[in-house]
Amino acid sequence: MGKYSLMMGSEALVRGAIYAGIRFYAGYPITPATEVAEYMAQLLPRAGGIFVQTEDELAAINMAIGASVAKWKAMVATSGPGFSLMQEGIGHAINTEVPLLIVDVQRGGPSTGQPTMPSQQDVFQARYGSHGSYEIIVLSPGNVQELFYLTIDAVNLSEQYRTPVILLTEEITAHLWEKIYVPGPGEYPVLPHATPPTRGDEGFLLESQLHDERGYNVANDPELSAKALWRLIRKIRDNVDKISRIEVKYFDDEPSVFIASYGCSARSALAAVKMLRQDGYKVGFLRLITLWPFPENTIRNAVRGASTVVVPEMNSGYIVNEFRLLGLNVVSVPKLGGEMPMPEEVYSIVKGVLS
Amino acid sequence: MRLEVRFAGFGGQGVITAGRLLALIIMEADPSLYVVYSPSYGFQTRGGDTLSDVIISHEEIDYPKVRRIDLAVMLTQQAYNKYCGLVKDDGLIVIDEHVNKDKGTCGNKRHYKLGIVASARQIGSDAYASTIMLGASINYLGNTEPLKGRLMLEHARQVVIRYFKETLLGRKVGIEDLINKNIKALEIGYEMMKIK
């Protein structure tokens, strides 16, 4: 049996990670992700894990990759500037197929930008930040309860697909305290840790250039290189519908307008939908739980019949482009400055669309 | 049914603690309710403005920040001037007795003056303002939907004792005294609130 607890988002994240079997954490303190490190330093050693404060974020992610290969479920947590420094390591983990959890508690950018204020400005960096062609899984928790469960899901997905998974949250959710349910041991599924396959006494080769299934370098062979890279891409791309999830509410009466959002902005969006419904407007609600791979088919299905999708987000308008690519008529509600969009703001924009 | 509460004051008056305790007490009183608690202090813990918000609802809480406050307890003039406008027209503004409501722009709203800071000093420290305003709030909220008939002083007593036992774990002496004084402060606050 689990129990109810009043918890800060960062603590829920840490407890979720430990629940999922994370036993190695490396990181460098950075606002607003420092609480993750603090709770980790407190709770991880008690669970038999290792906490390391590294000299910088490059060391953190590379150390975590090493730990994961050495049979420890591992994670890092950071914010914007640190996330930028980790990009090379993310590509390395993708190419070497190392399961790893990467947390980015988003603050305002660019550069040191707004350290104490939330944003959703790293949505594209999470998808495209590392060099080369690749696919990646990025999850976006909507509240503290989901932050707990999605942390476990992220670790599970990273084990299942042998790839780094990014948990993209925001300062608001990481610092907010909410009543959450913490499940007891065995109540929520946890996958075993995947390490590189070994062949007898040979051990294994960990190769960051393109390689075959034995780990041998094939970077000079166009055909084998293409094969190796397509396999890495397809293991995500071909499983979009299994990996990616959305939440849809208020859709039964086939509304012509949907408000679609993610993370903390989705809370404003939902409040706006409720206000609009109260005033007699038929408006639907869609929330992305997985940002990448972008769940095209699921979304198309969910909003079929709708003529317009309104997308509030705390950046200059990123995810809205993905909806535009689906051929939908979109209205972007970009919000900069570090405050969540107000439900009233979203309300009046949607009302304008409807009239 | 959504209920929004804000405690605001000066660093050291226990504004943050009051919010956290209120959230815990609500969970104790009715485990089926949703609770969000959001403290705001930054580097102001030793003076400067602090505030903490608690939102209570019978359904999942969407927007997690306060917009239309049902109960605001404000211990400083500065906090009052800044936040009284966010209080609903039928909400309640509780201010410390030294706060002058004529200096704000909320004269037409419901005000209630309490000697919170003075009573805290009588008990021994400004920090007891925390449990005094908590007691007063418990009394008021216990007569307000959705907490009517469910939120009792006894819930508050239990949580306050448990909370200070846990958070003062490292302390060697004086824990008992601190808990007793906080319970006393809680009861004083509860008695102060005459508005139903």
User: Tell me: the pLDDT tens digits for B111-169?
Assistant: 999 999 999 999 999 999 999 999 999 999 999 988 999 999 999 999 999 999 998 87
Instruction: Tell me which residue range forms the domain holding A208.
Output: 200-238
Q: Do residues A265 and A289 lie in contact, with contact meaning Cβ atoms separated by under 8 Å? A: no
Is the ipTM value over 0.90, yes or no?
yes
pLDDT per position as a tens digit, A271-292: 999 999 999 999 999 999 999 9
Residue A292 forms beta bridges with which residues? A138
Distance from CA of B62 to the nearest CA of A (A): 5
CB contact under 8 Å between A271 and B63, yes or no, is yes
- By C-alpha distance, the chain A residue nearest B64 is A267
pLDDT per position as a tens digit, A59-70: 999 999 999 999
Burial class (CB in 10 A: 0-12, 13-18, 19+), B149: exposed
At residue B42, the pLDDT reads 60
Burial class (CB in 10 A: 0-12, 13-18, 19+), B111: middle
**Are A234 and A252 part of one and the same domain?**
no
**Are A126 and A8 part of one and the same domain?**
yes
Q: Do residues A27 and A37 lie in contact, with contact meaning Cβ atoms separated by under 8 Å? A: yes
Q: In what order do the strands lie in the sheet with B34-40?
A: A3-8, A177-182, B34-40, B49-57, B2-10, B69-74, B87-96, B110-114
Q: Is A42 on the interface with B (CB under 8 A)?
A: no
**Are A168 and A258 part of one and the same domain?**
no
pLDDT per position as a tens digit, A329-353: 999 999 999 999 999 999 999 999 9
Residue A190 to residue A207: CA distance in whole angstroms? 28
Q: Is A268 on the interface with B (CB under 8 A)?
A: yes
Does residue B83 surpass a pLDDT of 80? yes
Distance from CA of B112 to the nearest CA of A (A): 29
Superfamily of chain region B2-192: Pyruvate-ferredoxin oxidoreductase, PFOR, domain III (3.40.920.10)
Q: Give contacts of A175 with chain B, Cβ < 8 Å.
A: 38
**Are A207 and A231 part of one and the same domain?**
yes
CATH code of the domain in which A46 resides: 3.40.50.970
Say which residue the tokens 């709030």 belong to: B137
**Are A36 and A62 part of one and the same domain?**
yes
CB contact under 8 Å between A179 and B23, yes or no, is yes
CB contact under 8 Å between B39 and A270, yes or no, is no
**Are A88 and A169 part of one and the same domain?**
yes
Distance from CA of B149 to the nearest CA of A (A): 21
Q: Is A271 on the interface with B (CB under 8 A)?
A: yes
Q: Which of A178, A264, A274 sits opposite B35 (nearest CB)?
A: A178
pLDDT per position as a tens digit, A10-35: 999 999 999 999 999 999 999 999 99
Q: Do residues A99 and A168 lie in contact, with contact meaning Cβ atoms separated by under 8 Å? A: no
CATH code of the domain in which A332 resides: 3.40.50.920
**Are A29 and A151 part of one and the same domain?**
yes
Does residue B45 surpass a pLDDT of 80? no
Q: Residue B25: helix, strand or coil by DSSP? A: helix
**Are A324 and A301 part of one and the same domain?**
yes
Q: Give contacts of A264 with chain B, Cβ < 8 Å.
A: 64
Per CB distance under 8 Å, which residues of B are interface residues toward A? Answer: 20, 23-24, 27, 31, 33-39, 42, 60-65, 67
Does residue A214 surpass a pLDDT of 90? no
At residue A3, the pLDDT reads 95
pLDDT class for B107, splitting at 50, 70, 90?
confident
pLDDT > 90: percent of chain A:
95
**Are A285 and A163 part of one and the same domain?**
no
What Å distances lie between residue A353 and A143, A166, A265, A308, A318, CA to CA? 28, 34, 19, 8, 20
Residue A289 in any domain: the answer is: yes
Residue A285 in any domain: the answer is: yes
**Are A53 and A123 part of one and the same domain?**
yes
- Among candidates A120, A128, A125, A33, which has minimal Cα distance to A75? A33
